[in-house]
Amino acid sequence: MKINGNEIRPGNVIQHNGELWVAVKTQHVKPGKGGAFAQVELKNLANGSKLNERFRSADKVERVRLEQRDYQFLYQSDDMLIFMDTKNYEQIELQADFVGERAGFLQDGMMVKVESHEGKPIGIRLPDQVTLIVRETEPVVKGQTAASSNKPAILENNMRVMVPVFIEAGDKIIIDTNETTYLKRAE
């Protein structure tokens, strides 16, 4: 689907210079002299490189629609992550570095969305929040809870996050998977 260059929004996937790019940021600029344009920061879906590009309203770009399918995470084998399509029970294997550091959030049976283009997986969406157990953290120092400060904690998946001082080892907490930050204590 062709769209005008000034219609590109963050999150749009476009085909540019023969490759797939996702728009990270867009800024519409209207200089005093000359025509208006959109300054777009693009991230390459294949290799992660970034590019800043100007698109005028007369420029036409190809917006790509990604196919999204629900998959269930089954297990990890060496550096491969195994997922199962919940509709036809077919399994796919993805490299752990394809998911990146967020692979640590994957839990048995977790539902994810795998985004693909022309049958080739190019992205994965995890749930926005996961519940994890704090494995170890520093003990609370008396009087420290008066100030709003954080302390480091190591979670059951070996990730490090900053948590409020009242969180102790063994507590269940909710983590934002996009920002890798503490949200709240789980009930």
- Is 113's pLDDT higher than 80? yes
Mean pLDDT in residue range 178-186: 87
CB atoms within 10 A of CB 90: 11
Give the dihedral of Cα atoms 144, 145, 148, 150; nearest 10 deg: 70
pLDDT tens figures, 52-88: 999 888 889 888 888 889 999 999 888 899 999 989 9
CB 145 within 8 A of CB 167: no
Q: What is the pLDDT of residues 27-50, one digit of tens each?
A: 888 888 888 888 988 888 777 788
Q: What is the pLDDT of residue 138?
A: 85
What's the pLDDT score for residue 144? 56
Q: What is the pLDDT of residue 133?
A: 93
pLDDT score for 121: 83
Are the C-beta atoms of 94 and 100 separated by less than 8 Å? no
* pLDDT value for 128: 87
Q: Looking at residues 127-153, what average pLDDT do you find?
A: 80
